[in-house]
Amino acid sequence: MGFKCGIVGLPNVGKSTLFNALTATAAAQAANYPFCTIEPNVGEVAVPDPRLDILAKLAKSADIIPTRLAFVDIAGLVRGASKGEGLGNQFLANIREVDAIVHVVRCFDDGDVTHVEGRVDPVADIETIETELMLADLDSLERRVDQLEKRAKGGDKESKETLDLVKRALDLLREGKPARFVQRRPEDEKTFRMLGLLSSKPVLYVCNVDEASAATGNAFSRAVEARAAEEGEGSVVISAQIEAEIAILPPDERTDYLAAIGLEEPGLNRLIRAGYALLDLVTFFTVGPKEARAWTVTRGTKAPQAAGVIHTDFERGFIRSETIAYDDYVSLGGEAGARDAGRLRLEGKEYVVADGDVLHFRFAT
């Protein structure tokens, strides 16, 4: 199961620098001009999780395999993208393919780096991008209404339900609010996702600050944080330039470098964890002498579907899962200790996997 976060923003806000640091590669060109990223670049990153190392040590695992997230570097959007300005149509299509949006906003003042709008105003930048996504959604939905109404009048139940969601989304969009705020029931979710609305995707704001503000943030980033709080969204303060420098340092030099600038860990670690939380993901583990491995599923996933993430045969032939909570596994010294203490549980098809579960699946071939 793959999860993708699309990195978006206006040109020259630091998207490609951030992406390069995330993937520790030079795959995405970073340059001081718009549209330096013409095709979306995709990089996978490990999700930092100290629990995995602890489990591997207890089980004496030969290999450690973390769970991963994909980040897509999408070229900079500009005002008018919804009408095809710049490379708008292509960029909007790339956004449609991701699960969540990491919105990088410029929170630094530097006369050597051109701002496409001629000024530094991160909240206005957010509104520019949000407006383009909403305009694209409005156009998409308005073109569907007539056909849906005809089908609904003809008694098509599915079209009637879809039309109701479309009208609610249109009402909100016309008020200048993104589609992710449409009120809906759990049973509406599948139909809502099928609408493919750009402004319905969860958003994490990344405040790209100057190096001096990496530990404390600045007035620009605080304005973004206030905006995010109003929307109920998350935000992270990062200096993309510092992260790029950290990425090329030998691992044994990174701790001293971070301490010297007042940071406990790379900002990218916080970004990755925030992206993981944004997608409402949980981690379960499989642990043994061969390997300790972390796996990613959405919150609420049941045991057979979690087994299917490892291999489709596991889901088809699922019998039960041997389940140990992470805290029990660690406090009792591993699987044998948990089994002896009666903390290993046998869970069936209706069991909802919890974050940190150590699982061993039984299945019929």
Known binding-site positions for ATP: 12-17
Residues at the binding site are 12-17
Between the alpha carbon of residue 184 and those of residues 109, 193, 264, 266, the distances in Å are: 41, 11, 40, 37
